[in-house]
Amino acid sequence: MSTAALTKNPAKRQRYVAVLLDMMNRPSGAIGLSLVLFHLCLAIISPVIVPYDFKLQDASLMLSQPSNAHWLGADHLGRDIFSRTMLGGREALLVTGIATPLAVLWGGFVGILFGLTGGRLDEILMRIVDAFLSLPWILKMLVLIVTFGTGLEVLIPTLAFFYGIPVIRIARAATHDVIARDFVWAAKARGHSRISIIWRELLPNVLDTLMVEGAMRWSWMLLAFSSLSFLGFGVSPPTPDWGLMISDARGYMSFAPWGVIGPVVALSSLIIGINLTADALAKALGIDRAQKAPM
């Protein structure tokens, strides 16, 4: 299309650049993005830069205190905690990095579809979603994992599936909001086709909401993944993982409390980073979370 020059890409690209710049100009965005970026880089280069082999067990170091050689001490098998902490986010980032977009994609698609259909069907489907959401997530997840076993090929679809369900609600609500607005009515009154209205008027507005939602889902999913590892259903040893490391160190809390410091700091800094980023993204995109009234 020759009109593309007038309307399409440049404007869009410009917008995302502007959004990114805006995010970096906010304290929350600057801190959040740096934390996330730091963890991503670390996940990529850590295998090359770790000081010790994560599998290397040294009985003489068992539960030893932090020292010059082993900054965070060693675990119950005498492995270097600092090295294991550096490596411990890789699995989590890989799994959630794939599962989050999948969750937003399928949840968003179904939610928009429900939102557009409306009527009885929509209501019945939402009831099912609600019922499903009211069950404790860990229960649902364990049922699936017990049935299908652990491993990435199970964890990724499982997390994507469960975390897509709340996205349905969000996408549906956003769709309802947008289609009630006058610009959609205006397009209808002009006689545009349904497809064109969905594509031009609806999607761009719902996508913003979904992006913010995706960022939030990502941090929750990380927590979920770590909890699964903590319970022994996530990463299998000896692969280092924060959840697993916390679980291991927990048993020795009374006399070797330093064992949990590394993984806890790492996990929480990543989650805080993602949350701050999501917050800055929401603000930069102008999705207002109602300002508090003076009284």
Question: Which parts of this chain interact with another protein (CB under 8 A)?
Answer: 1-3, 5-7, 11, 25, 181-183, 185-192, 200-201, 204-205, 208, 286, 291, 293-295
- Would you tell me the crossing angle of helices 9-25 and 27-49 to the nearest 10 degrees? 90
Q: Residue 268: which residues within 8 A CB-CB, separation 6 or more?
A: none
Distances (CA, A) of 169 to 101, 104, 211: 16, 11, 14
**CA-based radius of gyration for the chain:** 23
- Of 127 and 181, which CB lies nearer to another protein in the complex structure? 181
- Of 6 and 131, which CB lies nearer to another protein in the complex structure? 6
Residue 126 Cβ, how far from another protein at the closest point, in Å?
A: 19
In the numeric block, the tokens 């609806």 are attached to 202
Structure tokens at 27: 């304290």
The residue type of 116 is: L
Query: What is Dmax (Cα atoms) for the chain?
Result: 79
CA 156/CA 225 separation, integer angstroms: 10
CA 25/CA 69 separation, integer angstroms: 39
- Of 7 and 67, which CB lies nearer to another protein in the complex structure? 7
- Would you tell me the crossing angle of helices 137-148 and 152-179 to the nearest 10 degrees? 140
Residue 7 Cβ, how far from another protein at the closest point, in Å?
A: 5
Residue 294 Cβ, how far from another protein at the closest point, in Å?
A: 4
- Of 118 and 149, which CB lies nearer to another protein in the complex structure? 118
Residue 196 Cβ, how far from another protein at the closest point, in Å?
A: 8
- Of 12 and 55, which CB lies nearer to another protein in the complex structure? 12
Residue 293 Cβ, how far from another protein at the closest point, in Å?
A: 7
Residue 205 Cβ, how far from another protein at the closest point, in Å?
A: 6
CA 51/CA 86 separation, integer angstroms: 10
- Of 65 and 196, which CB lies nearer to another protein in the complex structure? 196
